[in-house]
Protein backbone atom coordinates (compact mmCIF):
# COMPACT_ATOMS: atom_id res chain seq x y z
CA UNK A 1 0.00 0.00 0.00
CA UNK A 2 1.24 3.50 -0.78
CA UNK A 3 2.01 5.91 2.03
CA UNK A 4 -0.44 8.67 2.92
CA UNK A 5 0.77 12.18 1.99
CA UNK A 6 2.00 14.25 4.92
CA UNK A 7 -0.66 16.95 4.53
CA UNK A 8 -3.39 14.33 4.93
CA UNK A 9 -1.59 12.71 7.83
CA UNK A 10 -1.33 16.09 9.55
CA UNK A 11 -5.08 16.46 9.25
CA UNK A 12 -5.72 12.95 10.56
CA UNK A 13 -3.36 13.47 13.48
CA UNK A 14 -4.68 16.90 14.44
CA UNK A 15 -4.75 17.36 18.22
CA UNK A 16 -8.45 17.85 18.85
CA UNK A 17 -7.87 17.71 22.59
CA UNK A 18 -5.88 20.94 22.45
CA UNK A 19 -8.74 22.54 20.54
CA UNK A 20 -11.19 21.32 23.21
CA UNK A 21 -9.15 22.92 25.97
CA UNK A 22 -8.97 26.25 24.13
CA UNK A 23 -12.69 26.13 23.33
CA UNK A 24 -13.62 25.40 26.94
CA UNK A 25 -11.44 28.22 28.26
CA UNK A 26 -13.04 30.72 25.88
CA UNK A 27 -16.61 29.55 26.50
CA UNK A 28 -16.29 29.41 30.30
CA UNK A 29 -14.71 32.87 30.47
CA UNK A 30 -17.45 34.42 28.35
CA UNK A 31 -20.29 32.65 30.14
CA UNK A 32 -18.92 33.80 33.48
CA UNK A 33 -18.96 37.39 32.20
CA UNK A 34 -22.38 37.09 30.53
CA UNK A 35 -24.51 34.17 31.78
CA UNK A 36 -27.47 32.94 29.74
CA UNK A 37 -30.92 34.27 30.65
CA UNK A 38 -33.32 32.17 32.71
CA UNK A 39 -37.10 31.80 32.43
CA UNK A 40 -39.64 29.94 34.54
CA UNK A 41 -41.47 28.55 31.50
CA UNK A 42 -38.50 27.77 29.25
CA UNK A 43 -35.42 25.60 29.22
CA UNK A 44 -32.55 27.74 27.98
CA UNK A 45 -29.92 25.92 25.94
CA UNK A 46 -26.53 27.41 25.12
CA UNK A 47 -24.67 26.16 22.07
CA UNK A 48 -21.22 26.87 20.77
CA UNK A 49 -21.44 27.06 16.98
CA UNK A 50 -19.02 27.40 14.11
CA UNK A 51 -21.07 27.93 10.92
CA UNK A 52 -20.11 27.67 7.26
CA UNK A 53 -22.18 30.49 5.79
CA UNK A 54 -25.02 31.44 8.14
CA UNK A 55 -24.75 33.95 10.98
CA UNK A 56 -25.40 33.10 14.61
CA UNK A 57 -28.38 35.45 14.63
CA UNK A 58 -29.90 33.68 11.65
CA UNK A 59 -29.29 30.27 13.20
CA UNK A 60 -30.99 31.36 16.42
CA UNK A 61 -34.04 32.58 14.53
CA UNK A 62 -34.27 29.32 12.58
CA UNK A 63 -33.94 27.15 15.69
CA UNK A 64 -37.60 27.42 16.67
CA UNK A 65 -38.69 26.38 13.20
CA UNK A 66 -36.41 23.36 12.89
CA UNK A 67 -36.30 22.20 16.52
CA UNK A 68 -39.72 22.96 17.95
CA UNK A 69 -42.99 23.84 16.19
CA UNK A 70 -41.95 23.83 12.52
CA UNK A 71 -43.61 27.23 12.05
CA UNK A 72 -41.51 30.30 11.30
CA UNK A 73 -44.13 32.90 12.15
CA UNK A 74 -46.65 31.36 14.57
CA UNK A 75 -49.87 33.31 15.17
CA UNK A 76 -49.39 35.64 18.16
CA UNK A 77 -50.98 34.31 21.34
CA UNK A 78 -51.58 30.88 19.84
CA UNK A 79 -50.76 27.48 21.30
CA UNK A 80 -48.29 27.04 18.44
CA UNK A 81 -46.48 30.19 19.53
CA UNK A 82 -46.30 28.84 23.10
CA UNK A 83 -44.63 25.72 21.70
CA UNK A 84 -42.12 27.56 19.52
CA UNK A 85 -38.56 28.07 20.71
CA UNK A 86 -36.60 31.19 19.88
CA UNK A 87 -33.18 32.76 20.12
CA UNK A 88 -32.65 34.81 23.28
CA UNK A 89 -29.03 35.85 22.95
CA UNK A 90 -25.93 35.73 20.76
CA UNK A 91 -22.26 36.10 21.64
CA UNK A 92 -20.30 36.36 18.39
CA UNK A 93 -16.58 35.78 18.71
CA UNK A 94 -15.65 37.89 15.67
CA UNK A 95 -17.05 40.36 13.14
CA UNK A 96 -18.27 37.62 10.78
CA UNK A 97 -20.88 36.54 13.32
CA UNK A 98 -20.41 32.90 12.30
CA UNK A 99 -18.54 31.60 15.34
CA UNK A 100 -19.67 31.97 18.93
CA UNK A 101 -22.52 31.12 21.27
CA UNK A 102 -26.27 31.19 20.85
CA UNK A 103 -28.86 30.95 23.64
CA UNK A 104 -32.19 29.43 22.57
CA UNK A 105 -35.32 28.28 24.37
CA UNK A 106 -37.21 25.02 24.56
CA UNK A 107 -40.74 25.89 25.76
CA UNK A 108 -41.98 23.77 28.65
CA UNK A 109 -45.38 23.94 26.98
CA UNK A 110 -43.97 21.74 24.25
CA UNK A 111 -42.54 18.95 26.42
CA UNK A 112 -43.76 19.16 30.02
CA UNK A 113 -46.00 16.28 31.11
CA UNK A 114 -49.35 16.97 32.84
CA UNK A 115 -47.99 16.30 36.34
CA UNK A 116 -45.20 18.82 35.82
CA UNK A 117 -42.28 16.49 35.11
CA UNK A 118 -40.15 15.58 32.16
CA UNK A 119 -37.23 13.22 31.64
CA UNK A 120 -33.61 13.55 30.61
CA UNK A 121 -34.50 11.62 27.46
CA UNK A 122 -37.05 14.33 26.62
CA UNK A 123 -34.46 17.03 27.20
CA UNK A 124 -31.77 15.40 25.07
CA UNK A 125 -34.29 14.67 22.33
CA UNK A 126 -35.30 18.33 22.25
CA UNK A 127 -31.80 19.80 22.49
CA UNK A 128 -29.64 17.39 20.47
CA UNK A 129 -31.82 17.37 17.40
CA UNK A 130 -31.05 17.36 13.69
CA UNK A 131 -30.58 21.12 13.34
CA UNK A 132 -27.85 20.91 15.99
CA UNK A 133 -26.12 17.60 15.36
CA UNK A 134 -26.80 16.60 11.76
CA UNK A 135 -26.84 19.51 9.32
CA UNK A 136 -23.88 20.25 7.05
CA UNK A 137 -24.03 23.97 7.80
CA UNK A 138 -22.64 23.41 11.28
CA UNK A 139 -18.88 22.98 11.14
CA UNK A 140 -19.14 22.40 14.88
CA UNK A 141 -22.04 22.49 17.33
CA UNK A 142 -21.82 21.83 21.08
CA UNK A 143 -24.42 21.95 23.79
CA UNK A 144 -22.33 23.66 26.46
CA UNK A 145 -24.89 24.65 29.09
CA UNK A 146 -28.49 23.97 29.97
CA UNK A 147 -30.57 26.12 32.31
CA UNK A 148 -33.58 24.26 33.68
CA UNK A 149 -36.31 25.98 35.72
CA UNK A 150 -36.15 25.07 39.41
CA UNK A 151 -39.66 23.63 39.46
CA UNK A 152 -38.68 21.16 36.76
CA UNK A 153 -35.45 20.20 38.55
CA UNK A 154 -37.51 19.47 41.67
CA UNK A 155 -39.66 17.04 39.66
CA UNK A 156 -36.69 14.71 39.13
CA UNK A 157 -36.00 11.96 41.68
CA UNK A 158 -32.26 12.50 42.02
CA UNK A 159 -30.04 9.99 43.86
CA UNK A 160 -31.71 7.76 46.41
CA UNK A 161 -28.97 8.37 48.98
CA UNK A 162 -26.23 10.90 48.43
CA UNK A 163 -22.70 10.39 49.83
CA UNK A 164 -23.59 11.09 53.46
CA UNK A 165 -26.40 8.52 53.55
CA UNK A 166 -24.37 5.92 51.65
CA UNK A 167 -21.61 6.23 54.23
CA UNK A 168 -23.92 6.24 57.23
CA UNK A 169 -25.97 3.26 56.03
CA UNK A 170 -22.79 1.21 55.69
CA UNK A 171 -20.94 2.28 58.82
CA UNK A 172 -18.36 4.67 57.32
CA UNK A 173 -17.58 8.04 58.85
CA UNK A 174 -17.70 11.23 56.75
CA UNK A 175 -13.89 11.54 56.91
CA UNK A 176 -13.06 7.91 56.08
CA UNK A 177 -11.30 7.27 52.78
CA UNK A 178 -13.72 4.79 51.20
CA UNK A 179 -12.88 2.42 48.38
CA UNK A 180 -14.54 0.31 45.79
CA UNK A 181 -13.21 -2.35 43.48
CA UNK A 182 -14.08 -4.12 40.25
CA UNK A 183 -14.19 -7.87 39.88
CA UNK A 184 -11.32 -9.15 37.75
CA UNK A 185 -11.19 -11.19 35.57
CA UNK A 186 -13.99 -9.13 34.07
CA UNK A 187 -15.43 -11.85 31.83
CA UNK A 188 -15.43 -15.64 31.52
CA UNK A 189 -16.18 -16.18 35.20
CA UNK A 190 -18.74 -18.39 36.93
CA UNK A 191 -21.00 -17.55 39.88
CA UNK A 192 -18.65 -19.43 42.20
CA UNK A 193 -15.79 -17.20 40.99
CA UNK A 194 -17.86 -14.09 41.66
CA UNK A 195 -18.65 -15.32 45.16
CA UNK A 196 -14.99 -15.98 45.92
CA UNK A 197 -13.84 -12.59 44.60
CA UNK A 198 -16.54 -10.67 46.45
CA UNK A 199 -15.71 -12.56 49.64
CA UNK A 200 -12.06 -11.61 49.22
CA UNK A 201 -13.01 -7.95 48.79
CA UNK A 202 -15.45 -8.10 51.71
CA UNK A 203 -12.63 -9.13 54.04
CA UNK A 204 -11.09 -5.70 53.53
CA UNK A 205 -12.92 -3.08 55.63
CA UNK A 206 -11.74 -0.29 53.30
CA UNK A 207 -14.35 -1.30 50.76
CA UNK A 208 -17.78 0.30 50.64
CA UNK A 209 -18.57 -0.88 47.13
CA UNK A 210 -17.88 -3.79 44.77
CA UNK A 211 -19.13 -3.91 41.21
CA UNK A 212 -19.05 -6.21 38.25
CA UNK A 213 -17.50 -5.00 35.02
CA UNK A 214 -19.51 -3.98 31.97
CA UNK A 215 -17.96 -6.89 30.09
CA UNK A 216 -19.78 -9.36 32.34
CA UNK A 217 -23.25 -9.68 30.85
CA UNK A 218 -26.31 -10.67 32.87
CA UNK A 219 -27.92 -13.37 30.73
CA UNK A 220 -25.15 -15.89 30.19
CA UNK A 221 -26.02 -19.58 30.19
CA UNK A 222 -22.90 -20.39 32.23
CA UNK A 223 -23.09 -17.39 34.56
CA UNK A 224 -26.59 -15.91 35.05
CA UNK A 225 -26.63 -12.70 37.04
CA UNK A 226 -29.08 -13.92 39.67
CA UNK A 227 -26.81 -16.83 40.53
CA UNK A 228 -23.81 -14.50 40.59
CA UNK A 229 -25.66 -12.20 42.96
CA UNK A 230 -26.58 -15.02 45.33
CA UNK A 231 -22.95 -16.17 45.36
CA UNK A 232 -21.77 -12.61 46.05
CA UNK A 233 -24.20 -12.17 48.94
CA UNK A 234 -23.05 -15.47 50.44
CA UNK A 235 -19.44 -14.32 50.09
CA UNK A 236 -20.22 -11.09 51.95
CA UNK A 237 -21.93 -13.08 54.69
CA UNK A 238 -18.92 -15.37 55.09
CA UNK A 239 -16.68 -12.33 55.55
CA UNK A 240 -19.04 -10.52 57.93
CA UNK A 241 -16.93 -11.30 60.98
CA UNK A 242 -14.01 -9.33 59.52
CA UNK A 243 -16.10 -6.28 58.60
CA UNK A 244 -17.50 -5.46 62.01
CA UNK A 245 -20.31 -2.95 61.53
CA UNK A 246 -19.34 -2.01 58.00
CA UNK A 247 -21.70 -2.84 55.16
CA UNK A 248 -20.74 -3.55 51.55
CA UNK A 249 -22.71 -2.60 48.44
CA UNK A 250 -22.59 -5.20 45.66
CA UNK A 251 -23.66 -3.99 42.21
CA UNK A 252 -24.14 -6.57 39.46
CA UNK A 253 -24.06 -5.38 35.85
CA UNK A 254 -27.52 -4.94 34.32
CA UNK A 255 -28.08 -4.53 30.62
CA UNK A 256 -30.39 -5.78 27.89
CA UNK A 257 -33.41 -4.55 25.98
CA UNK A 258 -35.83 -2.25 27.83
CA UNK A 259 -38.37 -5.02 28.39
CA UNK A 260 -35.69 -7.11 30.14
CA UNK A 261 -33.96 -4.58 32.36
CA UNK A 262 -36.53 -3.98 35.07
CA UNK A 263 -37.25 -7.70 35.46
CA UNK A 264 -33.52 -8.33 35.86
CA UNK A 265 -33.16 -5.56 38.43
CA UNK A 266 -36.03 -6.89 40.52
CA UNK A 267 -34.60 -10.41 40.31
CA UNK A 268 -31.13 -9.40 41.57
CA UNK A 269 -32.65 -7.32 44.35
CA UNK A 270 -34.64 -10.34 45.46
CA UNK A 271 -31.38 -12.31 45.40
CA UNK A 272 -29.82 -9.77 47.79
CA UNK A 273 -28.08 -7.13 45.65
CA UNK A 274 -27.86 -3.73 47.34
CA UNK A 275 -26.75 -1.90 44.19
CA UNK A 276 -27.04 -2.16 40.42
CA UNK A 277 -24.65 -1.05 37.72
CA UNK A 278 -25.71 0.22 34.29
CA UNK A 279 -23.64 1.27 31.32
CA UNK A 280 -25.68 4.45 31.40
CA UNK A 281 -24.19 5.80 28.17
CA UNK A 282 -25.97 3.09 26.21
CA UNK A 283 -29.20 2.80 28.18
CA UNK A 284 -31.06 6.08 27.93
CA UNK A 285 -33.91 6.30 30.41
CA UNK A 286 -32.90 3.18 32.32
CA UNK A 287 -31.66 4.93 35.45
CA UNK A 288 -34.87 6.95 35.79
CA UNK A 289 -37.01 3.85 35.16
CA UNK A 290 -35.26 1.83 37.86
CA UNK A 291 -35.13 4.75 40.28
CA UNK A 292 -38.87 5.30 39.98
CA UNK A 293 -39.69 1.57 40.13
CA UNK A 294 -37.72 1.05 43.35
CA UNK A 295 -38.15 4.36 45.18
CA UNK A 296 -40.69 2.85 47.59
CA UNK A 297 -38.46 -0.08 48.54
CA UNK A 298 -37.30 -0.10 52.13
CA UNK A 299 -33.76 0.01 50.76
CA UNK A 300 -33.65 1.09 47.10
CA UNK A 301 -30.60 -0.08 45.18
CA UNK A 302 -27.66 2.30 44.96
CA UNK A 303 -27.27 2.96 41.24
CA UNK A 304 -23.83 3.07 39.63
CA UNK A 305 -24.24 5.04 36.39
CA UNK A 306 -21.19 3.75 34.53
CA UNK A 307 -20.10 6.19 31.84
CA UNK A 308 -17.76 4.12 29.69
CA UNK A 309 -18.10 5.33 26.11
CA UNK A 310 -19.32 8.76 27.21
CA UNK A 311 -16.97 10.29 24.65
CA UNK A 312 -19.56 9.44 22.00
CA UNK A 313 -21.93 11.93 23.61
CA UNK A 314 -19.40 14.54 24.62
CA UNK A 315 -18.47 15.21 21.01
CA UNK A 316 -21.78 17.08 20.91
CA UNK A 317 -22.78 17.63 24.56
CA UNK A 318 -20.40 18.82 27.24
CA UNK A 319 -19.77 16.29 29.96
CA UNK A 320 -21.13 18.36 32.81
CA UNK A 321 -24.50 18.60 31.03
CA UNK A 322 -24.66 14.80 30.65
CA UNK A 323 -23.58 14.31 34.26
CA UNK A 324 -26.16 16.82 35.51
CA UNK A 325 -28.94 14.91 33.74
CA UNK A 326 -27.64 11.59 35.06
CA UNK A 327 -27.65 13.01 38.59
CA UNK A 328 -31.21 14.26 38.16
CA UNK A 329 -32.29 10.83 36.93
CA UNK A 330 -31.01 9.24 40.13
CA UNK A 331 -27.48 7.85 39.88
CA UNK A 332 -25.72 7.42 43.22
CA UNK A 333 -22.18 6.84 41.86
CA UNK A 334 -20.52 8.46 38.82
CA UNK A 335 -16.96 8.03 37.60
CA UNK A 336 -14.78 11.03 36.95
CA UNK A 337 -10.98 10.56 36.92
CA UNK A 338 -8.16 10.58 39.45
CA UNK A 339 -5.65 13.32 40.09
CA UNK A 340 -2.26 12.17 38.82
CA UNK A 341 0.98 13.57 37.51
CA UNK A 342 1.69 13.67 33.78
CA UNK A 343 -0.63 12.87 30.91
CA UNK A 344 -4.09 11.70 31.94
CA UNK A 345 -5.07 8.10 31.34
CA UNK A 346 -8.75 8.82 30.96
CA UNK A 347 -11.03 11.81 30.53
CA UNK A 348 -12.14 14.11 32.06
CA UNK A 349 -9.24 16.22 33.21
CA UNK A 350 -8.49 19.89 33.70
CA UNK A 351 -11.42 22.29 33.46
CA UNK A 352 -13.74 19.58 32.13
CA UNK A 353 -12.98 17.45 35.19
CA UNK A 354 -13.73 20.31 37.57
CA UNK A 355 -16.99 21.10 35.76
CA UNK A 356 -18.08 17.46 35.89
CA UNK A 357 -17.42 17.10 39.62
CA UNK A 358 -19.19 20.40 40.26
CA UNK A 359 -22.29 19.20 38.38
CA UNK A 360 -22.36 16.05 40.50
CA UNK A 361 -21.98 17.73 43.89
CA UNK A 362 -23.17 21.36 43.76
CA UNK A 363 -26.28 22.42 45.74
CA UNK A 364 -29.34 21.73 43.59
CA UNK A 365 -32.52 22.31 45.56
CA UNK A 366 -33.69 19.07 47.16
CA UNK A 367 -31.71 16.90 44.74
CA UNK A 368 -29.04 14.97 46.62
CA UNK A 369 -25.44 14.98 45.37
CA UNK A 370 -23.95 12.05 43.52
CA UNK A 371 -20.93 10.27 44.97
CA UNK A 372 -17.90 10.97 42.78
CA UNK A 373 -16.02 7.82 41.83
CA UNK A 374 -12.36 8.51 41.09
CA UNK A 375 -11.25 5.71 38.77
CA UNK A 376 -9.13 5.06 35.72
CA UNK A 377 -5.49 4.76 36.74
CA UNK A 378 -6.03 5.30 40.46
CA UNK A 379 -3.32 3.52 42.42
CA UNK A 380 -1.10 3.69 45.50
CA UNK A 381 1.17 6.18 43.75
CA UNK A 382 -1.48 8.87 43.24
CA UNK A 383 -3.92 8.10 46.04
CA UNK A 384 -2.37 10.68 48.36
CA UNK A 385 -2.65 13.40 45.70
CA UNK A 386 -6.36 12.54 45.43
CA UNK A 387 -6.82 12.61 49.19
CA UNK A 388 -5.11 16.00 49.34
CA UNK A 389 -7.28 17.34 46.52
CA UNK A 390 -10.47 16.08 48.19
CA UNK A 391 -9.57 17.82 51.45
CA UNK A 392 -8.60 21.08 49.76
CA UNK A 393 -11.89 21.20 47.83
CA UNK A 394 -14.10 20.02 50.69
CA UNK A 395 -15.08 16.83 48.85
CA UNK A 396 -13.76 14.14 51.21
CA UNK A 397 -17.25 12.87 52.04
CA UNK A 398 -18.27 12.90 48.37
CA UNK A 399 -15.54 10.68 46.89
CA UNK A 400 -15.25 6.92 46.45
CA UNK A 401 -11.86 5.66 45.27
CA UNK A 402 -12.37 2.84 42.79
CA UNK A 403 -9.33 0.67 42.12
CA UNK A 404 -9.29 -2.45 40.03
CA UNK A 405 -5.87 -3.75 39.02
CA UNK A 406 -4.13 -1.53 41.61
CA UNK A 407 -5.64 -3.79 44.25
CA UNK A 408 -6.54 -7.05 42.53
CA UNK A 409 -3.35 -7.48 40.52
CA UNK A 410 -0.69 -6.53 43.08
CA UNK A 411 1.54 -9.54 43.70
CA UNK A 412 2.56 -10.56 47.20
CA UNK A 413 6.02 -11.77 48.25
CA UNK A 414 5.20 -15.22 46.84
CA UNK A 415 4.61 -13.67 43.41
CA UNK A 416 0.85 -14.26 43.40
CA UNK A 417 -1.82 -11.65 42.70
CA UNK A 418 -3.25 -10.88 46.13
CA UNK A 419 -6.12 -8.38 46.60
CA UNK A 420 -5.49 -8.27 50.34
CA UNK A 421 -1.90 -7.25 49.72
CA UNK A 422 -3.01 -4.57 47.25
CA UNK A 423 -5.55 -3.27 49.76
CA UNK A 424 -2.93 -3.25 52.52
CA UNK A 425 -0.72 -1.12 50.26
CA UNK A 426 -3.62 1.33 49.91
CA UNK A 427 -4.04 1.39 53.69
CA UNK A 428 -0.36 2.15 54.16
CA UNK A 429 -0.60 5.01 51.66
CA UNK A 430 -3.55 6.43 53.62
CA UNK A 431 -1.47 6.30 56.82
CA UNK A 432 1.36 8.16 55.09
CA UNK A 433 -1.14 10.82 54.07
CA UNK A 434 -2.50 11.15 57.60
CA UNK A 435 1.04 11.57 58.91
CA UNK A 436 1.53 14.47 56.50
CA UNK A 437 4.85 13.08 55.26
CA UNK A 438 4.24 14.12 51.65
CA UNK A 439 2.64 17.51 52.25
CA UNK A 440 4.07 20.04 49.84
CA UNK A 441 5.75 17.41 47.65
CA UNK A 442 5.80 18.50 43.97
CA UNK A 443 3.61 16.19 41.82
CA UNK A 444 6.56 15.31 39.59
CA UNK A 445 8.48 13.92 42.58
CA UNK A 446 5.53 12.42 44.45
CA UNK A 447 5.84 8.73 43.54
CA UNK A 448 9.64 8.64 43.81
CA UNK A 449 9.61 10.21 47.30
CA UNK A 450 6.72 7.98 48.39
CA UNK A 451 8.64 4.89 47.32
CA UNK A 452 11.75 6.03 49.20
CA UNK A 453 9.64 6.66 52.30
CA UNK A 454 7.92 3.25 52.01
CA UNK A 455 11.30 1.52 51.81
CA UNK A 456 12.75 3.51 54.70
CA UNK A 457 9.75 2.84 56.96
CA UNK A 458 9.47 -0.83 55.97
CA UNK A 459 6.01 -0.34 54.45
CA UNK A 460 6.53 -3.49 52.45
CA UNK A 461 3.15 -3.77 50.76
CA UNK A 462 3.24 -0.14 49.66
CA UNK A 463 6.81 -0.41 48.36
CA UNK A 464 5.99 -3.60 46.43
CA UNK A 465 2.85 -2.06 44.93
CA UNK A 466 4.72 1.06 43.81
CA UNK A 467 7.51 -0.98 42.26
CA UNK A 468 4.97 -3.05 40.35
CA UNK A 469 2.94 -0.04 39.20
CA UNK A 470 6.00 2.12 38.43
CA UNK A 471 8.71 -0.31 37.28
CA UNK A 472 10.89 2.57 36.06
CA UNK A 473 11.45 3.48 39.73
CA UNK A 474 12.01 -0.05 41.02
CA UNK A 475 15.77 -0.17 40.56
202-255: per-residue pLDDT in tens? 998 899 999 999 999 999 999 999 999 999 999 999 999 888 889 999 999 999
Check residue 220 and give its pLDDT: 95
Provide mean pLDDT across the span 114-123.
93
Check residue 9 and give its pLDDT: 83
Provide mean pLDDT across the span 442-466.
94
Check residue 321 and give its pLDDT: 96
State yes or no: pLDDT of 322 exceeds 90.
yes
CATH number of 36-153: 3.30.70.150
Cα(163)–Cα(387) distance, rounded to whole angstroms? 16
Check residue 244 and give its pLDDT: 86
Are the C-beta atoms of residues 244 and 228 closer than 8 Å to each other?
Answer: no
Cα(308)–Cα(80) distance, rounded to whole angstroms? 40
Check residue 400 and give its pLDDT: 96
User: In the chain, what are the domain boundaries?
Assistant: 36-153, 163-427
Cα(294)–Cα(309) distance, rounded to whole angstroms? 26
Check residue 18 and give its pLDDT: 87
State yes or no: pLDDT of 22 exceeds 90.
yes
DSSP letters, 70-138, are: S-SSPPTTSHHHHT---EEEEEESSTTS-EEEEEEEEEHHHH--TTS---HHHHHHHHS-HHHHT-TTE
- Tell me the percentage of the chain whose pLDDT exceeds 90: 80
Are the C-beta atoms of residues 408 and 181 closer than 8 Å to each other?
Answer: yes
**In the beta sheet, which residues pair with residue 142?**
48
Name the burial class of residue 137, with classes exposed (0-12), middle (13-18) and buried (19+) by CB atoms within 10 angstroms of its CB: middle
Check residue 15 and give its pLDDT: 83
Instruction: Report the candidate in 85, 89, 107 with the shortest Cα–Cα distance to residue 47.
Output: 89
Cα(291)–Cα(302) distance, rounded to whole angstroms? 9
CATH number of 163-427: 3.20.20.110
State yes or no: pLDDT of 432 exceeds 90.
yes
Are the C-beta atoms of residues 441 and 388 closer than 8 Å to each other?
Answer: no
56-82: per-residue pLDDT in tens? 999 999 998 999 999 988 999 999 999
Identify the band that residue 14 occupies on the pLDDT scale cut at 50, 70 and 90.
Answer: confident
Amino acid sequence: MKQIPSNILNTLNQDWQLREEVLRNVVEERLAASPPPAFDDQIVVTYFLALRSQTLNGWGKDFGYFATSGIKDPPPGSLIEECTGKGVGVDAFDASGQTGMVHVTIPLKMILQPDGHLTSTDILHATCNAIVCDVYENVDARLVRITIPERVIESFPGPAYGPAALRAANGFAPTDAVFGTILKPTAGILPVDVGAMVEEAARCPLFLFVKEDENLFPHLDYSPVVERTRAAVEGIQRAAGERGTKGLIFAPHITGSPNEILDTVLAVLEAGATGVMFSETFSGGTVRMVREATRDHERPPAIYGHNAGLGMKTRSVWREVVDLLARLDGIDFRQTAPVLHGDPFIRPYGAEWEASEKALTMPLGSIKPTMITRAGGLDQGNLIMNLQDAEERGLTESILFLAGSAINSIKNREGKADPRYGAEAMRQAINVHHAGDLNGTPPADHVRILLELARNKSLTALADALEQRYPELAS
